[in-house]
Structure 1
Amino acid sequence: MTLLDSAVWGGKLYSDGWQESASGHPVVEPATGAQLGTVGLATEKDAHRAAARAAEAQRAWAATSPQARAAVLRRAGELFNEHAAEIEDWLVREAGSVRAKAGFEVQLAVGECFECASLPTHPQGEVLTTEEARWSLARRRPAGVVSVIAPFNFPLILGLRSVAPALALGNAVLLKPDPRTTVTGGVVIARIFEEAGLPAGVLHLLPGDGAVGQAVVEAPEVRVISFTGSTPVGRAIGERAGRLLKRAHLELGGNNALVVLPGADVQKAASAGAFGSYLHQGQICMTTGRHIVHESLVEEYTAVLAAKARALPVGDPAREDVALGPIIDRRQLERVHGIVTESVAAGATLAAGGEISGACYRATVLSDVTTDMPAWREEVFGPVAPVIGFSTLEEAARIVDDCEFGLSVGILGDVGTAMKLADRIESGKVHINEQTVADEPNAPFGGVKASGTGSRFGGAAANVEAFTETQWVTVRPDIADYPF
């Protein structure tokens, strides 16, 4: 039996072991429409039952020794390595990932587990000064039950980057993956931790619709919600969490800018821009959605980028060696094409692409773009690269910041000039002489403005802040004297 043998998970939920669910959801291959299996769907009742069980199991898990918790995380990392090929195959078929992206995602999962294995023994507080004759301490305690709601695009790592640190720090987790990628965003994680020795009841897999999402937010046992997804849904979750006095860590949309400075190597810059815009068909929150190029280079840059776009093959990554795989579903495919055609109708020039090819969208370049066009203003979530020119550094900074989002910015060219620009812009991440897509398990990750609530993922500091509560503790050698 393999790790992902459907006999284990088909039509089932992972909640105190694999349990039959009341209904199922087809696992569909976006490239072909073929059904790959059936996953179980949770109900609101399932979610509330899981939350109560998680709260019970969390107490024992939090009391487990740090080294024992660390051992589970290390073993999970080893299992991701051992089963990498099988997991990659599922990422290719279920999520439409090209092979290189699938391999990168699995290795991120390995690194995430190994990085989080250090959290149980990370310092969990500090000694405070005090005016009294006592010791005064601030210690970190597990938050309790954490709900993780993850999207379809990088389904494995965008769920695991919250699940792994939350578990490492002694919490229990309710995981709700996107129904379109429940195997790679949920079943894989549940099976890995099951095999790694995580006690029953500590992790629950709850795929489902919006009602299930609402339940994992509102269940009284849940203290922290970690959500990655669209800004409108994130706003709704944040509002609901605020009303219930719960913490919500929100990593939302992005319309990220790549700035090409005067004097930059155009060939290298266009290569970086193509990677940033076309990796995983542009279905990444950090995708390069806006190319801001100095007026001395903009014509050449657009021509080189368009040539690269035209040369990128599209197709079924499970059966062909392609650079771009399918868009996740027909609705999103038509949305991407609609944004392109609306922008062309508004005056943009189609320098490359702009075509639907089966379940795929060809790498697209738009020139003669203005800042009020849909392809510039909206997060396209597809392989579309609109290009605009600038003349001064002040103008570049203004164009970068004239956006509701603030997730990631890349700046290509002279480092000194790039540093000056970086100091003027609002963004959760700035990458000099790199494009906008980057992630490492030990680095803080998050955005500002409509991109979320800041860096709440990655690195010990962010993870400890995200998934623990601070408790003040004082200790006296004897009972204090009081005036009553």
Structure 2
Amino acid sequence: MDFLDPKIWSGSVFGGRGWVTSQAGDAPVVEPATGAEIGRAGVAGPADVAAAVAEAVKAQREWAAASFEDRAGVLRRAGRLFEDHAADIQKWLIRESGSIPGKAGFETHVAAQECYEAAALASQPPGEILPTAKSRLSLARRVPVGVVGVISPFNAPLILAIRSVAPALALGNAVVFKPDPRTAVCGGVAIARVFEEAGLPAGLLHMLPGGPGTGQALVTDPRVRVISFTGSTAAGRKVGELAARHLKRAHLELGGNSALVVLDDADLDLAVSAGAWGAYFHQGQICMTTGRHLVHSSIKDEYVERLAAKADAMPVGDPATQEVALGPLIDAGQRDKVHGLVTASVDGGARLAAGGTYEGLFYRPTVLTDVTTATPAYAEEVFGPVAPVMPFSSLEEAAALAADSEYGLSLGILTRDAMKGLALADLVPTGIVHINDQTVDDEAVAPFGGLGASGTGSRFGGTRANIEAFTETQWVTMQGDIARYPF
């Protein structure tokens, strides 16, 4: 039997009692490339959330008290399971999320690494000794928050869930997570199956695909003390407002409109290749996608010409049956949004150098030139394979253009002078900077997050960021005798 055989999970959600029928029924698992129904996944509602949280609360205390060796062992086994069953998980990433095989392979690799890095968290020193003016021991220690709620999106469904699920579990928490129902299998079932087989004690992980009502129930439940949300800025604002109303922390990783700055000394062939990867990887459906190409005016026309030629030559099609560079967009709503922004941009005076057409959910990689800062596909996050190109004449102008966005997620700078690139980066508020690389990258060992409309800062990845995200600081003092007071 395959690791993700539908006989195991069809029509079900996962929790303390294993795979069970949800109270909200099920929904089709749709292959975007063909429109075919390739399974049926359970769909959770608010009642399922309430029941899951109750089970999670009960299971969490024993897990928090368990030896760090036990917790680390589960996470290490989970990492190996992602490696051992990568082919089966990648098949679902390709068919359900429209990933090309390379992107699917990247997701399973990062998922395994997230588990291995999380295993190391379990044995991190949990606090520090503090100075005190009294005759006592004073210390600050990190303790689990209890139950963590995770809400993850469709675009990189495995990575964007496991990077919160794994460290939260390793640090002694229980987790209730809601994957996007459009990628319930590759972004939800896969993770549940891994931890089921890794020996995670029952009740600590609950996988509940669902819509906005399910997410709202998770955010507002008073027993869920931390919310880790990855998704659109519009949805993130609502999550942040709800969490604040209930006095709980919300870690928000949201949208972006990241700039790639190509200076006049950059190798143009390498720059065009990097720009194409940043703009077209996973059909542009990545929060870090290169949404704005800022190119020195002396090389801008040649950059546009070469990028357009590359875009025209890129094969687009079903990644499950063809060798392609781009697969389908996730659904018709996303396609229509992308095309609407491209059409409005051309109507507003931008010139279409490549693409701008589609068949079904397959959108051609697109290049726009003669854009202004008001051009819709330049000013807004497209979340599709669209590359608007804007010229600049000086470093100061490049910095001003790169900083002129409500988003602040990722920045790429291409130049032969790395120190010049670093000086430019100092002028742009952003959570991530890549000098001599494009804007899309992620590693389990690095803190990840954006500023402004891109979120609440680096909350994922790396030891310090994960510990801060999924634990609380508790002050503890101890002394030999009861303190004497004048009352």
Give the TM-score taking structure 2 as reference length. Answer: 0.99
Indicate yes or no: 2:14 matched with 1:14.
yes
1:483 Cα deviation after fit = 1.6
Classify the secondary structure of the residue corresponding to 2:184: helix
1:220 Cα deviation after fit = 1.6
Question: 1:456 aligns to what?
Answer: 459
Question: 2:375 aligns to what?
Answer: 373
What is the letter of the counterpart of residue 216 of structure 1? L
Give the alignment partner of residue 438 of structure 2, picking from 429, 435, 438: 435
Question: 1:308 aligns to what?
Answer: 310
Question: 1:135 aligns to what?
Answer: 137
What is the letter of the counterpart of residue 214 of structure 1? Q
Question: 1:178 aligns to what?
Answer: 180
Question: 1:276 aligns to what?
Answer: 278
Q: Please give the residue correspondences for 1:307-386 in structure 2 after superposition, counting only pairs within 5 Å.
A: 307-386=309-388
Indicate yes or no: 2:250 matched with 1:248.
yes
Indicate yes or no: 2:5 matched with 1:5.
yes
Question: 2:66 aligns to what?
Answer: 64
1:478 Cα deviation after fit = 2.0
Classify the secondary structure of the residue corresponding to 2:459: strand
Q: Please give the residue correspondences for 1:63-462 in structure 2 after superposition, counting only pairs within 5 Å.
A: 63-413=65-415, 414-462=417-465
What is the letter of the counterpart of residue 4 of structure 1? L
Question: 1:469 aligns to what?
Answer: 472
Classify the secondary structure of the residue corresponding to 1:389: strand
In 2, the alpha carbon distance for the partners of 1:329 and 1:440 equals 28
In 1, the alpha carbon distance for the partners of 2:15 and 2:483 equals 48
Query: 1:219-257, CA deviations, whole angstroms, 9 ceiling, x for partnerless residues?
Result: 121000000000011001101100100000000000000
Query: 1:155-214, CA deviations, whole angstroms, 9 ceiling, x for partnerless residues?
Result: 001000000000000000011000100001110000000000001100001111111110
What is the letter of the counterpart of residue 241 of structure 1? A
The gaps in structure 1 that reach 5 residues or longer are: none
The gaps in structure 2 that reach 5 residues or longer are: none
1:14 Cα deviation after fit = 0.4
Classify the secondary structure of the residue corresponding to 1:280: helix
Classify the secondary structure of the residue corresponding to 1:370: coil
Classify the secondary structure of the residue corresponding to 1:259: strand
1:267 Cα deviation after fit = 0.7
Classify the secondary structure of the residue corresponding to 2:122: helix
In 1, the alpha carbon distance for the partners of 2:52 and 2:89 equals 26
Query: 1:79-133, CA deviations, whole angstroms, 9 ceiling, x for partnerless residues?
Result: 0000000000000000000000000110000110001100110111111111111
What is the letter of the counterpart of residue 428 of structure 2? I
Classify the secondary structure of the residue corresponding to 1:117: helix
In 2, the alpha carbon distance for the partners of 1:18 and 1:477 equals 51
In 1, the alpha carbon distance for the partners of 2:307 and 2:412 equals 16
What is the letter of the counterpart of residue 444 of structure 2? P
In 1, the alpha carbon distance for the partners of 2:331 and 2:376 equals 21
What is the letter of the counterpart of residue 20 of structure 2? Q
Classify the secondary structure of the residue corresponding to 1:339: helix
In 2, the alpha carbon distance for the partners of 1:483 and 1:135 equals 22
In 2, the alpha carbon distance for the partners of 1:6 and 1:409 equals 41
In 2, the alpha carbon distance for the partners of 1:15 and 1:41 equals 13
In 1, the alpha carbon distance for the partners of 2:261 and 2:356 equals 23
Classify the secondary structure of the residue corresponding to 2:446: coil
Question: 1:478 aligns to what?
Answer: 481
In 2, the alpha carbon distance for the partners of 1:207 and 1:317 equals 25
1:46 Cα deviation after fit = 0.8
Classify the secondary structure of the residue corresponding to 2:187: helix
Classify the secondary structure of the residue corresponding to 1:454: coil
1:358 Cα deviation after fit = 2.7
Classify the secondary structure of the residue corresponding to 1:7: helix
In 2, the alpha carbon distance for the partners of 1:172 and 1:452 equals 24
What is the letter of the counterpart of residue 9 of structure 2? W
1:357 Cα deviation after fit = 2.4
Structure 1 consecutive aligned stretches of length 4 or more whose deviation exceeds 6 Å: none
In 2, the alpha carbon distance for the partners of 1:19 and 1:422 equals 50
Classify the secondary structure of the residue corresponding to 1:309: helix
In 1, the alpha carbon distance for the partners of 2:104 and 2:209 equals 22
Classify the secondary structure of the residue corresponding to 2:450: strand
1:398 Cα deviation after fit = 0.7
Query: 1:260-315, CA deviations, whole angstroms, 9 ceiling, x for partnerless residues?
Result: 01111111001000000000000000000000001111111111111111111000
1:21 Cα deviation after fit = 2.1
In 1, the alpha carbon distance for the partners of 2:181 and 2:247 equals 28
In 2, the alpha carbon distance for the partners of 1:9 and 1:419 equals 49
In 1, the alpha carbon distance for the partners of 2:65 and 2:218 equals 24
Q: Mean alpha-carbon deviation: is it higher for 128-137 or for 442-451? A: 128-137
Classify the secondary structure of the residue corresponding to 1:76: helix
